[in-house]
Structure 1
Amino acid sequence: MKNRGPHRSIIGIDVGATKIAAGLVDLASGDVRSLMRIATRRQGAPCEIVNDIATIAAAVLKTTLDDVLDPLAVGIAVPELVDISGHIRSTWNFPLPDLVAMVTERTRLPLRVESDVRAAAFAEARFGAGRACDNFAYFSLGSGTSYTLCLNGRPYTGAHGFAIHFASSDLAIPTADRGGLSIATPEDFASGLGMERLWMERGGPALGDGVQALETLAASGDPRARGVIEDAASIAGRLIAQSVNMLDPEKIVLGGGLGCSEGLYRHRLEEHIRANIWERSCADLPIVMAGLGEHSGIIGAALAARAAI
């Protein structure tokens, strides 16, 4: 007989720009079982991506037929704005038409959609680097940038569910001659995609391995690669420091490919964060890497679904 106690499981699905990962999450331990991954067909039609999400959800569910952990629901983390009711409110990466209806039809389980950064922060609060921390700020630094403030073990959604931005809006400062304003969006330069674009604009050749190739070039002494990394880390670090000045968190948790890197970018990022924290007694606050790796989105999606049912 399957376990009908309080510690059951939820299917968690993390939809990313390059892959869709799913698994069965034990709500008591955070362990992920029946882990599956497929490539995100980003160049395909939106309905194909939705069908892939529904297919992987059904595949994980099928593995539970003889499992003692009977799934309660399905949670899906997406790289979009998601409001407090669980409705997707943006199409920055790709539309996901009829996602809820199709996955519900294939699994016959309750479903909750959550923003990927909020899901990852929730997982880190419960089982990862933010465990036993009253409040921390989670920053996802990868192909894009986003953040979540966690309070008492839960991600803060804001009034409408959109409290995930820190580098997405235009900023303006006077030009060098003070004759006007220079306007730019920090994410366009500080994110992984922004760094690749800046590299190309500065005359660099195509990168075969994305930002990691920049780290390799910088380590070999390439001044142009080092300059791109230095500039990106300076922009992101100063913005994170400003967030610290506004939020006064107990800890910073860094996630995403850039946030969890160990090269020049991470080193300079931390230097800029600490140098630009206004209250110097707070400049030595802990800055740690996320502890759950690729499982954070899966676990967080499951936790968000459990919290919603």
Structure 2
Amino acid sequence: MRRVNGLAVLGRAVAGIGGATGGAQRRLLHSQILTSCSHSSPLWFTQPLLDRFGQSRSSRAQGFEATMHFSVSATSLAQDIQAAKEKFQPKDVVLYQYEACPFCNKVKAFLDYYNVQYKVVEVNPINKKEIKWSDYKKVPILKVDGEHMVDSSDIIAKLYQKINPENSASKNEEEKNWCRWVDDHLVHVLSPNIYRTTSEALESFDYITTHGNFSFSERIIGKYAGAAAMYFVSKKLKKKHNITDERAALYEAAETWVDALKGRQFLGGLNPNLADLAVFGVLRPIRHLKSGRDMVENTRIGEWYARMESAVGESARI
């Protein structure tokens, strides 16, 4: 309790640098943590393993088969992306986002995978001046040739329909169910983990404020006051979602996802489907935080994640 109180006091002391303005910013910051990412999630205000082939005849045969399988998969992926580019060639795509928002990262994973080039506007979570033009005050917001899209799942559904107009209704029940699982379960497990301790909360907000659109004073206030606020908020979320052990819940979610693959490279088979992209997008911001490192070290999700990094490839951001 002493460490928590110390952190809260430090946050108040730093926030006090800005006087009354700092206090207003702190209150706004806390408010935005709770309300400004799509699905009203407070998570983020809150970002290849190769098989070792043996030397026996059967191992060499398996290695050759695996190489051929990978070649076919890579060719199919290239054809998939090329076909998408030919069908959907927007001239101007702009994503209004927070860098660490899981729902924004869902959209970016989709855009990156389909190689849809996009620009990014980082929204200041305190004043939101970058989206004052919009009646919708959460992120992500995507502009595609002047058309405004909101809510990560709706954005992805509309983009998928544009890319695959003849197969827009082809998403199977398995894929639909796992897409819902991401929004209804996985994201709720993450917040209690990334803000589990005061040190992890500080690590998370160091990442958030470094990558976000903050002035120097907002960055200092955000890191300490935000970390203190979200440490306590995460405890309420833990209770709300009936989580007794944060790490155990995270590991269970990761293992649940790997079990869902049923030995496949991806849930979509040879190539990722929308559920693969959703899980990958949500997890990407935490991959190199302590919670993400622990998850990869203590579950089987690492190999799938590495395959996803390879499949999604370089960012299509311009």
Give the structure-2-normalised TM-score.
Answer: 0.24
Give the structure-1-normalised TM-score.
Answer: 0.24
Greater percentage in strand? 1
- Of structures 1 and 2, the one with the larger relative CO (CA 8 A, separation 6+) is 2
Greater percentage in helix? 2
